[in-house]
Structure 1
Amino acid sequence: MKSTYLIISLMILSITIFSCSNNDDADMSLTGTGDVKIDFDNSFNGNDLLLETSGFTNSMGENLTINRLNYIVSNFVLTDENGNKFIYPKDQSYFSTSEESGNTEITLSEIPAGRYVSVSFGIGVDQEKYKQGAEGQGTFLTEAEETQMMWSWQAGYKFLNFEGTFTSATVTDATNFKIHMGSHGTALDNYKEVTLPLGTEALVSNSMNPIIHIVADANAILDGQNKISLSEQPVIMVDEVKSPQIAVNTSGMFTVHHVHNGEGDSH
């Protein structure tokens, strides 16, 4: 009799576990579409980036007060756990971020449901888009002009607008610096793309709208793979040597800090 009760008890336990497992799987199913927000948190060598605040010192002993940090991000691609890529529609995939205005968050809309493990994007505007001409830029051309991200249409976009003042051992009076990096027409292409692992899956569905928090370390612009001394050259715009070096540095300043998975717009 005890054996019979034991068998029945085990059968009930198995059914319960199987049922719970199925419910868990159902709860975790992702359907429909959702929004993915990407928050660019600007910093300097591990510290929050506060404009008009001195005290940011690089490895070359230059002390920076940063007044402006704007950059263009574009051509977003999300890759899911199975390696499938969702390419965000190109005409909607250009954004100008600005620490000055606080406009440092972008929204990618109508993303297919899934578990995304990495994000890829460009820094700047690619030649394919630029070659479409002024009419082919849509509303982004106006946005770039309003955020000081254009030289002129013929000269092209500024991919990075980094400005402020600095002092150093050899420059004792506060001196203005300007780092404007971009492609200059079709002659010099400084457009770069990066791919960042998310660490935690970004879950997207009709009720899940994740926020990807990306840290952008402004220190890398001058103090990254290539060392750029403001004391030697405080203004860099169209420079066949240093502009490509800054482009490489800028592509290395982004890391994913964390992913917030949740419903709606809560952080």
Structure 2
Amino acid sequence: MRLLLWSTLSLLVLACMRDQPVAVERGELQLAFEHVVGAKPLVLGSTSYRNGGGETFTVSTLNYYVTNIRLKRTDGPDYVVPQDSSYFLIRASDPATQVIRLHNLPAGTYSGVSYLLGVDSLRNTASVDRRTGVLDPAGGHTGGMYWDWNSGYIHFKLEGNSPQVPASAGDDRFMYHIGLFGGYQSRTLNNLRTVTLTTGSIPIQVTEGRVPRVHIEADLQKVFDGPSTLRIAQSPLIMIAASSAGVADNYARMFRLTGVDFADR
């Protein structure tokens, strides 16, 4: 009888142990965006730069959306950041926006990151209650990154001043506001672009104890001197024109991963 009771008790204990969930180690990761123009750091308003065509310019505004983040793992399938937690607006005027903090990531070794530049079609056309925070069309967080007249988000905004702007423009300002996601009720250009960056031989270790910080450099020189040549004198204003696709191709190539270190917790 005692042997039977002992056997039954042992089976119950083993069953309970099997039913207990296994704790999955989680960690955090930061993506730190750093802006330059060629070899110079980006300083809004005061520093003069020169593009490949010899045009001089200053930058007053740089904003862009980083969304739909995916992390490439070396020890398992890629990790896709939950979409509702994967919309960020980078503003060169606000250092706090230039560090993206990703939480509750599966611990492991990662070798790269990819993200969408802009706001995807599903979120562009979603009900307003699903467009909160930096996507709220009526909120101050969007920083003028939504076209009321065109019902869509501006994926990338670059503004500045240049003496090469033609006198016929009325002043020396240039503006590149690049949006369009393919259209909803009618077809448009699709200026969404995906950026994929790898760490090479430097692994990104996500653990509970330390927070890796991935440094990503964005070089605005590439906006002017990329696959499509952009000259301020010829095109001081681009929004929904066909040439906006070339600008999108250019700025999608302005990013490079420059290093990995650890952030203070």
Calculate the TM-score normalised by the size of structure 2: 0.81
Q: Which residue of 1 aligns with 2:42?
A: 49
Gaps of 5+ in 2: 1-23
Judge conservation of contact 2:180–2:191 (CA < 8 Å) in 1: yes
Q: CA deviation at 1:189?
A: 1.7
Deviation at 1:141, TM superposition (A): 2.0
Q: What is the distance in 2 between the residues matched to 1:53 and 1:198?
A: 33
Q: CA deviation at 1:47?
A: 1.5
Q: Using the alignment, how far apart are the partners of 1:258 and 1:144 within structure 2?
A: 33
Per-residue CA deviations over 1:9-33 (Å, capped at 9, x if unaligned) read xxxxxxxxxxxxxxxxxxxxxx711
Q: 1:225 to 1:132 in 2, by over 3 A?
A: same
Q: Which moved more, 1:173-182 or 1:67-76?
A: 173-182
Task: Determine if contact 2:165/2:173 at 8 Å carries over to the other structure.
Answer: no
Q: Is the 8 A contact 1:43 1:216 kept in 2?
A: yes
Report the counterpart of residue 163 of structure 1 in structure 2: 159
Contact in 2 for aligned 1:203/1:261 (Cα 8 Å): no
Aligned to 1:177: 174
Q: 1-side partners of 2:44 and 2:28: how far apart?
A: 30
| Alignment match, 2:218 | 216
How many angstroms does 1:77 deviate by?
A: 0.6
SS in 2 for 1:158: strand
Residues 1:111 and 2:113 aligned together: no
Runs of 4+ in 1 over 6 A off after TM superposition: none
Q: Which moved more, 1:184-193 or 1:67-76?
A: 184-193
What's the CA shift for 1:90? 0.5
SS in 2 for 1:128: helix
5+ residue gaps, structure 1, are 1-30
Amino acid at match of 1:40: F
- Find 2:126's aligned residue among 132, 149, 164: 132
Which residue does the alignment assign to 1:72?
65
Instruction: Quickly say closer, same or farther: Cα 1:72–1:144, change in 2 above 3 A.
Output: farther
**Mean Cα deviation higher: 63-72 or 124-133:** 124-133
8 A contact 1:113–1:204 mirrored in 2: yes
Match of 1:25 in 2: none
Secondary structure in structure 2 of the residue aligned to 1:215: strand
**SS of residue in 2 equivalent to 1:244:** helix
Is the contact made by 1:52 and 1:66 (CA closer than 8 Å) also made in structure 2? yes
CA RMSD of aligned residues (A): 2.1
- The DSSP-based 3-state class of the residue aligned with 1:226 is coil
Q: Distance in 1 between matches of 2:262 and 2:205?
A: 6
Q: 1:99 to 1:136 in 2, by over 3 A?
A: same
Output the amino acid matched with 1:202.
Answer: I
Assess if the C-alpha contact under 8 Å between 1:62 and 1:169 holds in 2: no
Matched residues in 2 for 1:113 and 1:206: separation?
Answer: 7
